[in-house]
Amino acid sequence: MGQGSMGTRRFRAFLKPADSPAASASVREVFERLAQIFIWKPAELWPRRLTRYVLFELLKTFAVTLVALTTMIIIVLVVTEGMRRNLGAAQLLLLTPYVLPVALRFAVPGTILFATCSVYGSMSAHNEVVALKSAGISPMAIFWPAIVLSFLLSLWALWLNDVAVSWGRIGTQRVVIEAVEDIAYSTLRAQKSYQAPNFSIVVKEVSGRQLVKPVLTIYGAGEPIVMQAESAELRGNPVENTLTVLLRDLFADMGTIKARDRETFRYVFSLSESVERKSSDTSPSNLALRVIPGEIERTILDIERWEKRLAARASYALLAGGFADVAGPTWFAEKNRLRDAHNRLARLRTEPHRRWANGFSCLCFVLVGAPMAVRLRNSDFLSSFFICFLPILIFYYPLLMLGIGQAKDGAMPPQGVWLANLIMIVIGLVLIRKVLRY
């Protein structure tokens, strides 16, 4: 016989009345004290059928609502991205799988709150909670399924947050990159102009694949370069990550230098940079969680190297009397670089806490929503949901954004992001205690 059955027999033997009344009262007092401390009741007082019933109702309501809400969010996101990028129907279909994690990470917290308010509000309105208390069953018997489910959903939401900003963003960018040529031509036909992060094109008209009287403006570190031509053609190569502009009968204006070329001139852009600026790829909010520790170590090494370089230059200036060196543009450029590195380090350290806090909003919402719905005793699930969600919308999210902003600026430790979650947990435990006592 296994250890589990032996443990069960011992536990039941512990629950049996002792031989003497004094011993029986003593055992009962100890047991009741443990129950008060841990808000726990023995398994015999928790009917498994009741737990399965609550869990089934939660899962049923959660699944139906999640499918409906996620579908709506996907449609909004895909249509918005399609209008912003001027994508066709084929690109929109390819975009849908990559938008799914983004839609789910927004839908899951609100959906579990809605399911919790619906199920527990209905149970309380039909006096099922009162019946449980009358039968000597703790309301925690119906709260635990929601708490465990929300904990598992919090881990799933954390994973969705990570997937959405890494795999989802990269996939969306890949779809757009592969369609840049078609996007540019369709935009030029409709608007006679196309704007990219690193260049822009204005044309008189589009004839087939030929751009008539194009004006190409190239943006870089210095002054923009303006190129005019009689005609031009765009050729995208996703395999080589290049977008080639073929300009015929070119006239280029480069500020003080002007040039003319009667032959065909080729200018090659990076496809990825034509879709999104390169700096956004290395933004902490776009990095996977597994990459962030390495980025933190690399940023710390960069900070140490730049601090040593600035200290060495300042020491040399003091010894040699070259005070102009510590007041010139090179000195301030390096100080700005060091300041940007410190800002990046603060954002890198904040990002994991932000994603964990966002993910575990599911647990916080359930801890508040379940007892609140029981106390409201309202069978109208929409009323219960909005009564619970309105304080969350007014209080939780602004406080979460404040903590994230302060942590990214270095004004508070990265752990400060959890402040909104901790306050929600405390409020939820207070509400649960009131439900248990009254």
Please check whether residue 241 lies inside any domain of the structure.
yes
Sign of the alpha-carbon torsion through 182, 184, 189, 190: positive
Phi (first) and psi of residue 283, to 5 degrees: -65, 140
Q: Between 89-125 and 169-178, two packed helices, what is the crossing angle to 10 degrees? A: 150
Do the beta carbons of residue 232 and residue 211 sit within 8 Å? yes
Mean pLDDT, residues 292-297 taken together: 93
* Cross-strand pairs, 207: 210
Please check whether residue 48 lies inside any domain of the structure.
no
Mean pLDDT, residues 197-207 taken together: 88
Q: Where residue 418 falls among pLDDT bands split at 50, 70, 90?
A: very high
Sole residue written with tokens 């010894």 = 319
Do the beta carbons of residue 350 and residue 417 sit within 8 Å? yes
Residue-wise pLDDT tens digits, 43-94: 444 457 888 889 999 999 999 999 999 999 999 999 998 888 778 888 889 9
How many H-runs (helices) and E-runs (strands) does the chain carry?
Answer: 15, 8
Token pair for residue 336? 């700005």
Q: In this predicted model, which residue has the larger pLDDT, 320 or 255?
A: 320
Domain count along the chain: 1
Q: Where residue 325 falls among pLDDT bands split at 50, 70, 90?
A: low
Task: Please give the pLDDT value at position 384.
Answer: 76
Could you list the residue range(s) of the whole structural domain that residue 258 is in?
198-275
Token pair for residue 188? 């030029």
Sole residue written with tokens 């899951």 = 108
* Cross-strand pairs, 211: 206, 232
Residue-wise pLDDT tens digits, 221-254: 677 888 888 889 988 888 888 888 888 888 776 6
Mean pLDDT, residues 403-430 taken together: 92
Q: Where residue 347 falls among pLDDT bands split at 50, 70, 90?
A: very high
Please check whether residue 236 lies inside any domain of the structure.
yes
Please check whether residue 68 lies inside any domain of the structure.
no
As a whole-number percent, the residues of the chain with pLDDT over 90 amount to 36
Q: Which residues of 170-287 form beta strands (DSSP E)?
A: 193-195, 199-202, 205-207, 210-212, 215-218, 225-237, 242-254, 257-270
Q: Which residues contact 192 (CB under 8 A, 6 or more apart)?
A: 202, 203, 204, 205
Task: Please give the pLDDT value at position 417.
Answer: 94
Produce one character per residue of 56-88: b if its CB has 16 or more CB atoms within 10 Å, e if not: ebbeebbeebbeebbeebbeebbeebeeebbbe
Please check whether residue 253 lies inside any domain of the structure.
yes
Mean pLDDT, residues 176-203 taken together: 86
Comparing 19-28, 276-285, 363-372, the range with the smallest average pLDDT is 19-28
Secondary structure of residue 382 in the 3-state scheme:
helix
Closest CA to 102 of 169, 154, 153, 177: 169
Closest CA to 117 of 62, 69, 76, 64: 62
Sign of the alpha-carbon torsion through 424, 429, 435, 438: negative
Q: Are strands 205-207 and 199-202 parallel, antiparallel or unpaired?
A: unpaired
Task: Please give the pLDDT value at position 11.
Answer: 35
In one-letter notation, the amino acid at residue 18 is A
Burial, 37: exposed, middle or buried (Cβ in 10 Å; 0-12, 13-18, 19+)? exposed
* Residue 238 to residue 363: CA distance in whole angstroms: 43
Token pair for residue 235? 């050729």
Mean pLDDT of the chain: 82
- Which range of 31-40, 183-192, 329-338 scores highest in mean pLDDT? It is 183-192
Produce one character per residue of 190-225: b if its CB has 16 or more CB atoms within 10 Å, e if not: eeeebebbbbbbbbeebeeeebeebbbbbeeeeeeb
Please check whether residue 437 lies inside any domain of the structure.
no
Q: Which residues contact 123 (CB under 8 A, 6 or more apart)?
A: 54, 129, 142, 374
Residue-wise pLDDT tens digits, 359-393: 999 999 999 999 999 988 876 767 778 888 888 88
Q: Between 48-85 and 140-163, two packed helices, what is the crossing angle to 10 degrees? A: 30
Please check whether residue 18 lies inside any domain of the structure.
no
Q: Which residues contact 361 (CB under 8 A, 6 or more apart)?
A: 109, 154, 157, 396, 400, 421, 424
Mean pLDDT, residues 300-317 taken together: 82
Please check whether residue 265 lies inside any domain of the structure.
yes
In one-letter notation, the amino acid at residue 334 is E
Sole residue written with tokens 């190409």 = 216
Q: Where residue 10 falls among pLDDT bands split at 50, 70, 90?
A: very low
pTM for this structure? 0.77
